[in-house]
Amino acid sequence: MKPPVFSPLEKDCLAWLTHRIGSYRNIGRGLLVCITIALATTFIADHYGGPTLLYALLFGMSLHFLSDEGRCREGIEFAARTVLRLGVALLGARMTFEQVGDLGIGPVVTVIGSVAFVIVAGAVMARLLGLPRDLGLLTGGAVGICGASAALALSAVMPRHENSERNTILTVVGVTTLSTVAMVVYPLIASVLELANTQAGIFLGGTIHDVAQVVGAGYMISDETGDTSTLVKLVRVAMLVPVVMVFIWLFRSSRQAEGDNAKVPMLPSFLVGFVVLVVINSLGLIPETVSDGMSTLSRWCLVTAIAALGIKTSFHKLAVVGWKPVILMVLETLLLLFVVLGVVMFAGLGI
């Protein structure tokens, strides 16, 4: 039996199809590793407590050798970029414009002012500590907006260099750890200062980094505090949109210097998705069950992306950085604490 004879066009189509199948297979291997880590760390966090994102980072870092292994590399890169951006976009399903309006102008202005202040202060303090301005902006954005999620979103539009991923991992580890500490300590501060439920909610939502820790801290005090802190936190999450746009403009020349392929569009797809979901949710077009499902999917995407970033980073690379980035994030956290707490107490917010 004679072998089939293919035309040049058919050969090109077969070659393209073979290449795509091989590419999907490679993506699948690495992505499956990241999903497995996400499943394992979520199980541990749900049953034994602790921050899921931090567990995913540490588990991923223990498998760093896979980042040098050709069969998994493509899937790990896919999780660290595409899955990450999907997770950030789906955060928009958590909030509506009506929720923001219910807070009143005071908390909204406080959030906007404190976020801008911490980001600028982060850049200044980074230079004073002898650190790159980029790291100060990244950590300031993560502390000011929404912790690990903001760090991942902002790093996606910042220029790439040899320390980019290391800085992102450092920021995620730092803000996740500080957020967990704040979840325990800040409710005690609110109790000692005898803040009213609404005041405590504004304080917790305006200062704690990650959404999960804000919810946990708020409902430790009361249901009213939990509801208020969650709404204030969602306003901080919404600040991700203008801050990402500012970062795109700020780093436009740096990214253009990397070449045409490295340019970021004026409106990144994940940012468009975030805004669109907020608008659709504000119009009441997303059923509550669907919104909850999208929030859950967002959480899984972010945990999977964190696992991928962990795999791409080694303990050795983190060890050579020193304590200055840690000091920077602690200072930013304390600055945000004093600013928001001062406004709550002396401006009479929530009374």
pLDDT tens for 10-40 read: 444 444 444 444 456 778 888 899 999 999 9
Residue found under tokens 């509801």:
227
Measured at the CA of 64, the angle between CA 29 and CA 53, to 5 degrees, comes to 85
pTM summary value: 0.68
Tell me: the pLDDT tens digits for 220-235?
A: 788 788 878 878 887 8
Name residue 215's amino acid.
V
Averaged pLDDT in 10-residue chunks for the chain of 351 residues: 49 45 69 92 86 80 78 84 81 75 82 93 93 91 87 83 79 82 87 89 90 76 81 84 87 61 53 82 86 87 83 66 84 94 79 58
- pLDDT at residue 336, rounded to an integer: 95
Of all residues in the chain, what percent are helix, strand and coil, respectively (each to 5)?
80, 0, 20
Q: Are 169 and 320 in contact (CB under 8 A)?
A: no
> Can you tell me the distance from the alpha carbon of 294 to that of 152, in angstroms, rounded to the nearest whole number?
18
